[in-house]
Amino acid sequence: MTITCFIRYEIDPFQREAFKEYAENWGKIIPRCGGHLVGYFLPHEGTNNVAWGLIAFESLAAYEAYRARLKTDDAGRENFALAQAKRFILREERSFVEVVDGTFAVPAQPQHASP
């Protein structure tokens, strides 16, 4: 994947489960519309009102085609409506980033015991 859309959400921490449902819905919708879903992430420890979504694309043109398909997808429109009705997303920011070669999905090195 060439670019990743990095979405930062400020969420209502009292509606964490509603955001989780919203994110899980995207798990079916995004791939169907042409995005490579890297994942959605909820706060676990520390700050309780910030969540993230990462979706990868071959290019900005592929992202634009995805957005067009998303607008005509019934489940996608329903998911957007869910977020608007429940108001669990307080703010959303999008950035487009690219991977630095040699730094993504590098597995951990096994630790060797000292003699």
How many of the other CB atoms lie within 10 Å of CB of 63?
A: 20
Give the residue with greater pLDDT, 62 vs 115: 62
Residue with tokens 């019934």: 74
51 belongs to a structural domain: yes
CA dihedral 26, 84, 82, 75 (to 10 degrees): -50
The verdict on residue 112 lying in a domain is no
Note the helical H segments in 50-92.
60-72, 74-86
pLDDT bin (cut points 50, 70, 90) of residue 21 is very high
pTM: 0.86
- Tell me, what CATH number does 84's domain have? 3.30.70.100
Sign of the C-alpha dihedral, residues 77, 75, 2, 90? positive
Range of the domain at 23: 3-97
Whether residue 53 lies inside any domain: the answer is yes
Is residue 80 a part of any domain in this protein? Answer: yes
- Judged against a pLDDT cut of 70, whether residue 115 lies above it is answered with no
Q: How far apart are CA 28 and CA 105, in angstroms?
A: 23
- Residues 42-56 have a mean pLDDT of 95
Total domain count for the chain?
Answer: 1
